[in-house]
Amino acid sequence: MKKATPRTNIKEFDKAVKESQKAQYILRLYVAGTTARSVQAVMNVKRICEEHLKGRYDLEVIDIYQQPVLARGEQIIAVPTLIKKLPEPLKKFIGDMSDNERILVGLDLIPKR
Amino acid sequence: MSPKRKSAHRMSLEPLRKLPTGIQGFDEITMGGLPEGRISLITGGPGSGKTLFSAEFVVHGAMDYGEPGLFVTFEETVEELEKNVITLGFDLHDLANHRKIVLDHIPIERSEIQETGDYDLEGLFVRLGYLIDSIGAKRVVLDTLESLFSGFSNEMILRSELRRLFRWLKVKGVTTIVTAEKGAGTLTRHGLEEYVSDCVITLDHLIHDNIATRRLRVVKYRGSQHGTNEYPFMIGDEGISVLPITSLGLKYEVSTERISTGLSKLDDMLGGKGLHKGSSVLVSGTAGTGKSSFVANFAESVAARGDRCLYLAFEESENQIVRNMSSIGLDLNKWIKRGLLQFHNVRPTLYGLEMHLVKIHDLVIRAKPQAVIFDPISNLVSVGTSTEVKSMLTRLIDYLKMMNITTYFTNLIVSAELLEATEVGVSSLMDTWIVLRAAEFGGECNRQVHIVKSRGMSHSNQLREFQITDNGIHLLDVYKGRGSVLTGSARAMQEAHDESEGLNKRQHDERRIRDTERNRKILEAQIAALQAQLAGETEELRQYADQEQLRERERLVTPSQSEAGKPAGARKKPARR
């Protein structure tokens, strides 16, 4: 999964990569304790970050049980929730982050088809 | 394990405990309030009062029952919510500052959120749990929980999470209200009622003849009795009030105390003592017969006693009534200023009958009057059908009697001939029925008052004439002449006629006396003459007897002389003749 899926236009992919290469990513992942779903989400996000944003991301995993006030401030209803705070615009993802392509598109790491 | 299970079993057999909402009338319908520790669903269309109902539940809990509450809004912001309910006198902000309630807004915006795989709503649970624990909330409102459906596309997850949420809330032991929009043909748009099995309440509007009435119905209340009707309710200045109208019975204390009608002569007609306190009085009459003047008199007498009187005017404005009554010498302003007379003007068509009932109920509770005047109820009739009016009035009268409030109703009737028919059966509800009419006779209309009935007292059966003058209403003494009651100029004529008749009779009598006297005098004179004659005769007789005696003596002395005396006697006799 390191490379773009065959269906993606290589040129566009390169362009997107170049653009996003400059930006620093600030990501917050809200999970609920150590449920299977939470663990899965943490693993998925970490993998994506390592594969696409190596060296230029700041990922913080927050347990809503321990930080309910923080969760309230971010209007966390569903968990797991991944929030891309930077670069703009703010994006939210919910789920166990198993849909790789959707996350990559959402993080502007691959162009929207 | 086994004793534990036993106690749990016993717990479940305890009767359902109820938590009073503090909403006027609602706790009476549900016989206590909402099921404690359970979920109640309130559903209704937009603007049906769901949010307000929920807000009152939390506010009353915090203020009246010492139970902290949590209000979560999914649609409005906290500021909007605060603003919306402050007009009804609930200062949520202040309560929140005193940590009696917690307000929270959970915005659900789908556009920002992308779903990538499986998720749950644990975030909501954690948040609610945190909020509940922060003040130890006993009452929770989720308004409108349904908006979750617009925020998340995976309905399967959502439904299972909702089910889990409700279970979780029950375990938490909080009493919860969940609001939902009414769907087309279903109780809620997303079928929330499936998950809420304890108590379901619907709020709606009924529109009849362009008049909307808010109504509330308890659709379901598991494990409890409840009123099943649709109850009208209103959102007034002090929030929601529901009137459990049909729960009223005929069990009320009755008073034997009598109070004046404000007209002493009318009191005389009512057994001399006036009305029973707490009774209902109907004053009906055609236009211009003085119904308002009668009730204004009553209002004045109530205020003059120091009691409070509530005047519900459906036709005229307060100022107009005050002005009109000052023209017959009644100064109502004086009592208004002292707060003893309170006017409430409202157009009958402003809202539906039930709403009027609720509104009146509300006014009575606030004003605490000893007497209430409805002027006129005939206008209310225009709002509903006659059955509706009768049912509304029955409940109204029942309620007022229960409160021992004397009630005056005026009713305009179109024509005196249709008197009975136009009363829409209202008269049977009344204790006293006074009919005012304008009797046409001899080219003029004269006002008459008649007491058709008056329960529990002797009352006059006469038609009495009355006049409305600059100094008020005057009932004239009853005039009975030649077997009928007369009024107006006919009465005056009859009186004049009677007077002239009287004079004739007097003159006639005098003449007769004079004649008799004269006759007597003539007779006396005759008697005197006869007596004089008699006296003369007697004298002559005596003289004759003397002479006879003399002659007899002479004859005894000399017989010759007696012979000689004979001719002398014979001679003498003709001479006398």
Q: Which pLDDT belongs to residue B5?
A: 46
The confidence band for B285, taking pLDDT boundaries of 50, 70 and 90, is: confident
How high is the pLDDT of residue B2?
Answer: 44
Which of B114, B125, B149 is the mutation pick for testing A, counting most A CBs within 10 A? B114
- When mean pLDDT is compared across B242-246, B424-428, B465-469, the lowest value belongs to B242-246
B494 or B418: whose pLDDT is higher?
A: B494
Write the CB contacts of B291 (distance below 8 Å, at least 6 apart in sequence).
Answer: B283, B284, B285, B375, B376, B410, B411, B412, B436
Q: What whole-number distance in Å separates Cα of residue B486 and Cα of residue B464?
A: 9
Rounded average pLDDT over A87-107: 83
Average pLDDT (B195-206) is: 83
Asked whether residue A2 is domain-assigned, the answer is no
Report the residue of chain B nearest A70, measured CA to CA.
B127
Spatial CA neighbour of B217 closest among B207, B204, B208, B206: B204
Q: What is the pLDDT of residue B252?
A: 65
Lowest mean pLDDT among B152-161, B336-345, B436-445, B503-512: B436-445
Q: Which residue has the higher pLDDT, B457 or B538?
A: B538
Note the pLDDT of residue B475.
82
Mean pLDDT across chain B: 81
Could you identify the residue written with the tokens 């927050």?
A62
More reliable by pLDDT, B560 or B9: B560
Determine, yes or no, domain membership for A4: no
Mean pLDDT in residue range B32-40: 89
Can you give the pLDDT at residue B1?
40
**Residue A24 at interface with chain B, using a CB cutoff of 8 Å:** no
The answer, yes or no, to whether residue A68 has pLDDT greater than 80, is yes
Per-residue pLDDT, B211? 61
pLDDT at B566 over 60: no
Residue B452 predicted with pLDDT over 60: yes
Q: How far A72 CA sits from the closest chain B CA (Å)? A: 6
* pLDDT for the residue numbered B297: 87
The answer to whether residue A14 sits within a structural domain is no
Per-residue pLDDT at B379: 74
Q: Which residue has the higher pLDDT, B421 or B120?
A: B120
| ipTM attached to this prediction | 0.79
Nearest CB partner across the interface for A96, out of B113, B119, B151: B119
Summarize the confidence of residues B399-404 as an average pLDDT.
82
Q: How much is the pLDDT for B268?
A: 84
Answer yes or no: are the C-beta atoms of B403 and B438 closer than 8 Å: no
DSSP string for residues in B229-288: SEEEEEEETTEEEE--GGG--S-------EE--S-HHHHHHTTTT-EETT-EEEEEESTT
Query: Do the chains contact at B113 and A30, CB–CB below 8 Å?
Result: no
Let me know if residue A5 belongs to a domain: no
Report the chain A residue with the minimal C-alpha distance to residue B125. Answer: A77
Q: Do B103 and B84 contact (CB within 8 A), yes or no?
A: no
**What is the CATH classification number for the domain harbouring A57?**
3.40.30.10
Identify the H or E element spanning A80.
none
d(CA B199, CA B184): 20
pLDDT at B522 over 90: yes
Task: Say which amino acid occupies B481.
Answer: G
pLDDT at B240 over 60: yes
Q: How many domains does chain A have?
A: 1
Q: Is A47 on the interface with B (CB under 8 A)?
A: no
Q: How confident is the model at residue B317 (pLDDT cuts 50, 70, 90)?
A: confident
Q: Which residues of B touch A67 (CB under 8 A)?
A: none
pLDDT in tens, B127-143: 899 999 999 989 999 98
H or E stretch covering B441: strand B432-441
Burial letters for B525-558: b for 16+ Cβ neighbours within 10 Å, e otherwise? eeeeeeeeeeeeeeeeeeeeeeeeeebeeebeee
Residue A46, domain extent: 24-105
Measured between beta carbons, the chain B residues lying within 8 angstroms of A64 are: 122-123, 126
Nearest CA in chain A to B107: A75
A69 to chain B, minimum CA–CA distance in Å? 8
- Confidence at residue B290, expressed as pLDDT on a 0 to 100 scale: 84
* Residue A61 to residue A81: CA distance in whole angstroms: 10
Report the mean per-residue pLDDT for chain A: 81
Residue of B491 and B152 predicted with greater confidence: B152
Q: Which residues, at least 6 apart from B410, have a Cβ–Cβ distance to it below 8 Å?
A: B282, B283, B284, B285, B291, B292, B294, B295, B373, B374, B375, B376, B377, B378
Contact yes or no for A32 and B123 at CB 8 A: yes
Let me know: does B291 contact B412? Beta carbons within 8 Å. yes
DSSP 8-state symbol, B120: B
Instruction: Report whether pLDDT(B362) > 80.
Output: no
When pLDDT is averaged across residues B257-280 and rounded to a whole number, the result is 85
Residues of chain A with pLDDT > 70: what percent?
A: 83
Nearest to A78 by CA among B112, B394, B455, B250: B112
pLDDT at B229 over 80: no
Residue B529 above 90 pLDDT?
yes
